[in-house]
Amino acid sequence: RIGERAPKEKPTQPALRQARQGPTDEAQMAAAAALARLEQKQPRARGPTSQESIRNQVRKELRAEATVGGSTEAPGSNTVPEAKEEGSAHLAVPGVCFTCPLTGATLRKDQRDAHIKEAILSHFSTDPVAASIMKIHTFNKDRDRVKLGVDTIAKYLDNICLHPEEEKYRKIKLQNRVFQERINCLEGTHEFFEAIGFQKALLPVPDQEGPEEFYVLSEGVLAQPQSLQRHKEQLLVAEPVRATLARQRRLFRPSPMASQFELPGDFFNLTAEEIKREQRLRSEAVERLSVLRTKAMREREEQRELRKYSYTLLRVRLPDGCLLQGTFYARERVAALYAFVREALQNDWLPFDLLASGGQRLSEDESLAFNECGLVPSALLTFSWDAAVLEDIKAAGANPDSSILKPELLAAIEKLS
């Protein structure tokens, strides 16, 4: 019976009798049987602890794979790469970077907010109106509160333009309840009023002993109401200043390592505490293997898994074997990848397609997000000419496998290591 529970082949009866002759062998077989029972309750109890291995194992277990270690990757995806610390010599990309729209500077994720704030503040010296508007929309995170405050300021300015002869509209009482609740609570609003021509003044209030503080519009601005209208429109249509994701476009020579990715930790939308929590939940995931789930349930679980990634690193193998690489948001649309590739082509008007590893054409629905296509957190795709274009290339006697990229990209080609 002990032999039947052992993880090895079922031994013959003589072997069993021989194994029981000494206490040392019997103890070893008892230990083996205990280990087998543990493995039946919790397969791979000493499971992987790295971030990528945890994700792979949970995904496999939730899909109730019959074979331990099997692969059920989505078309176009690769084995989930391990998150590495930034600074590693073999990272596929050093980290996620962003571009400041005001200065053009390339920033790490931990630098972007401070840099943008500094850029906006420095803008006050050249254009205080624009800087104050950027501050209102960027420094205040509650978008509903910002909209309410902006709409209230616009109403103040509309009243002045509609009733230029009425003095009461040119004065705004700072202690007014509406002003305090909707405007005073927002960063940048005082700078905006002062930049468009309001000045603070202490004015007497009827039926009140002491004066109160008001914003009063200067006479010079009142003579040019069109400027107030222009500033109001600027305020209403403005958006928060946000750093844009840097594609970090790179071109590599043909390499057998094309499908190998080692990503920095900021590609994963997980904190250290969340990683520890996943490790604790592994045993629960194993227990759910015995629960019968429909295909729809499994797909929902897979989608929850994919939401753990913030970014994806994509490579496109070109006809000459070279690899074009770029960084994208995990929830960006496939159309963004087509635009990225098209920008690199010498003839960007020629139709082409991109194929996932299973031959799936991504152009079938360019509105899908990368995480919906299984292209996160990394994937290798293949460039394919449109059939009609390929026929024309061959008819012209040209080599369809020759380089199709812009010369400036080829000049910066690298070796993938």
pLDDT tens column, 219-255: 888 888 889 999 999 999 999 999 999 999 999 999 9
β-pairing, 311-317 vs 97-99, is unpaired
Instruction: Give the predicted TM-score (pTM) of the model.
Output: 0.66
Query: Is the Cβ–Cβ distance between 267 and 309 less than 8 Å?
Result: yes
Q: Please report which confidence band the pLDDT of residue 33 belongs to, taking 50, 70 and 90 as the band edges.
A: low
Provide the percentage of residues in the chain whose pLDDT is more than 90.
Answer: 47
pLDDT in tens, 345-399: 998 888 899 999 878 888 878 889 998 888 988 999 999 988 887 787 778 777 7
Single-letter residue type at 385:
W
SS3 for 181?
helix
Separation CA 217–CA 285 (nearest Å): 66
pLDDT in tens, 283-293: 555 555 545 55
Please work out, in degrees rounded to the nearest 5, the angle formed at the alpha carbon of residue 200 by the alpha carbons of 195 and 205.
Answer: 145
Please work out, in degrees rounded to the nearest 5, the angle formed at the alpha carbon of residue 244 by the alpha carbons of 305 and 146.
Answer: 90
Q: What are phi and psi of 36, to 5 degrees?
A: -65, -40
Domains of the chain: 97-244 (1.20.58.2190), 306-415 (3.10.20.90)
Q: State the pLDDT at residue 1.
A: 43
DSSP element (H, E) containing 382: strand 378-385
